[in-house]
Structure 1
Amino acid sequence: MNGGTPMSGRDAKQPEGSLQTSGLTKSFGGVTAVDGVTVSFRQGKVNALIGPNGSGKTTFFNVVTGMIKPDSGTVTYRGRNLTAKAPHRIARAGIGRSFQLCRVFPRMTVLDNVLAAAQPKGLKGLGSGHGKAETEKARYWLTRMGIEHLEHAEARNLSWGQQKLLELAGVLMTEPELILLDEPAGGVNPALIDRIADLVRELNAEGRTFLIVEHNMELVMSLSDHVVVFDRGRPIAEGTPDVIRADERVLEAYLGV
């Protein structure tokens, strides 16, 4: 296999705002983590979602991807209502995601981890076997990540950064149009951060949209086309990196100025 894998005939040229929320709200007890969020992200671009700790970014991800049901509001993707759908339904709609803490099977090989990610039933699906084409596809993504030499290693023996790459390979097995990355650079050494950044650029150039939650501002500003800033569960600013750098509300809320 060479070059990029096809995106199942999906049209990558969609109007802006392919992922949208309207009045999205989620509370835990007396704390409102996501507070009536109405926001639109850009199709075909690298979007970033930033904000101080506790501003609701990961909860927003979890609601959008069906991990948590919202109290109110809607989530739509390319005009399709995905509000409170199960995670596997979200994935079938063309949305993939990674997690702040890598979700890998530590005692399984790297190759089997990627194959399991492509199974509708996850780990249970491996029992039904997999074909040559699927294995070649898994090896293709491991090669794209630069960890093909580790395919027989157990995932627990990989570095944290390598586990991030392994998780991304698994996400890509389902050929998502939109990829949500939760702190891809967290705990990763600088060389692998550069590798992750290069991969995001390459995959975006191939037609995939990204939405990234990240605290590494150098990475965010160098990668992103569009940035949304959260504070206390709601957006306070959005725009290009240059616009965000100069926004006084962002300096006050995020940078503590």
Structure 2
Amino acid sequence: MTTTITRGLETTGLAKSFGGVHAVDNATVAFHHGKVNALIGPNGSGKTTFFNCVTGMIKPDAGSVSYRGEDITGRPPHRIARAGIGRSFQLCRVFPRMTVLENLLASVRSPTLPGWLRSARQRGDIERARELLMRVGIDHLEHAEARDLSYGQQKLLELAGVLMTDPETIMLDEPAGGVNPALLDRIANLVRALNAEGKTFLIVEHNMDLVMSLSDHVVVFDRGAPIAEGSPDEVRADPRVLEAYLGS
């Protein structure tokens, strides 16, 4: 019996330099579609630059990015989002003086507030936004301004904003950063539940307890390139990973 492997997010020879620094260096890697993938590595190993190349925030110098077998290299972020990839950022990107509900509507609507609300009422986006706020557990803050939320609550708001576009693959950049243990558990449970519903995840994270408990597949970067990949247990025991983190 032949097993069919669903192609997801893949890069071939991806490279990006800043001056003489090779932030991403000939990175060829395939993430497991339908699974929770983690991308780990020491500080400065190129993880966020890799994210930015994949999602069109910056253009790679060389190599390619493909998603579901389609070349998406160098496309602008909104076109990559339409292809089915959503992402969060290492530092939360919310509109601080807008309400929690308005922040979610902003992720799917036109650039003026009347446009957001008018089209939202027509298309049911307000209802969807409220459902997502309830799902991430901050529906009681619907009318609060985003600047009044804790940092962990802003992370939940950003995740809800990503979900507004219903992406097939969700890329999270350090979701545990600055989050208290209770909210971190909520984020982890959301990832597990969404993955069970068919969402693919690619998570950059330094919290190794979270990575090892949440991930199906782990890729390790060092100096801009993948040096190891496998299950959490395989990666944990790989001497190349230990050397990258601890030094030879």
> Does TM, scored on the shorter chain, surpass 0.5?
yes
Quote the Cα distance in structure 2 between the aligned partners of 1:15 and 1:87.
27
- Matching residue of 1:91: 81
Quote the Cα distance in structure 1 between the aligned partners of 2:175 and 2:42.
16
Aligned ranges 1:8-19 → 2 under 5 Å: 15-19=5-9
2:114 maps to a residue whose letter is G
The number of equivalent residue pairs is 241
Contact 1:25 1:35 in 2 (8 A): yes
2:174 maps to a residue whose letter is E
1:145 maps to a residue whose letter is V
1:178 maps to a residue whose letter is T
- Matching residue of 2:101: 111
Contact 1:16 1:41 in 2 (8 A): no
Quote the Cα distance in structure 2 between the aligned partners of 1:228 and 1:175.
25
**What percentage of aligned pairs have identical amino acids?**
74
- Matching residue of 1:8: none
RMSD: 1.2
Quote the Cα distance in structure 2 between the aligned partners of 1:48 and 1:17.
17
Is the aligned partner of 1:142 residue 2:129? no
Quote the Cα distance in structure 2 between the aligned partners of 1:41 and 1:243.
16
Contact 2:16 2:61 in 1 (8 A): yes
- Matching residue of 1:126: 113
Cα deviation, residue 131, structure 1: 1.2
Contact 2:220 2:227 in 1 (8 A): yes
Secondary structure, in 3 states, of the residue corresponding to 1:84?
coil
- Matching residue of 2:240: 249
Is the aligned partner of 1:159 residue 2:150? yes
Secondary structure, in 3 states, of the residue corresponding to 1:44?
coil
Is the aligned partner of 1:224 residue 2:211? no
Task: Give ranges in structure 1 of 5+ residues lacking alignment.
Answer: 1-13
- Matching residue of 2:161: 170
Quote the Cα distance in structure 1 between the aligned partners of 2:67 and 2:11.
9
Runs of 4+ in 1 over 2 A off after TM superposition: 14-17
2:149 maps to a residue whose letter is L
Contact 2:228 2:241 in 1 (8 A): yes
Cα deviation, residue 15, structure 1: 3.0
- Matching residue of 2:72: 82
Task: Give ranges in structure 2 of 5+ residues lacking alignment.
Answer: none
Is the aligned partner of 1:33 residue 2:33? no
- CA spacing shift, 1:30–1:157, aligned 2, 3 Å: same
Quote the Cα distance in structure 2 between the aligned partners of 1:34 and 1:96.
21
Cα deviation, residue 125, structure 1: 4.6
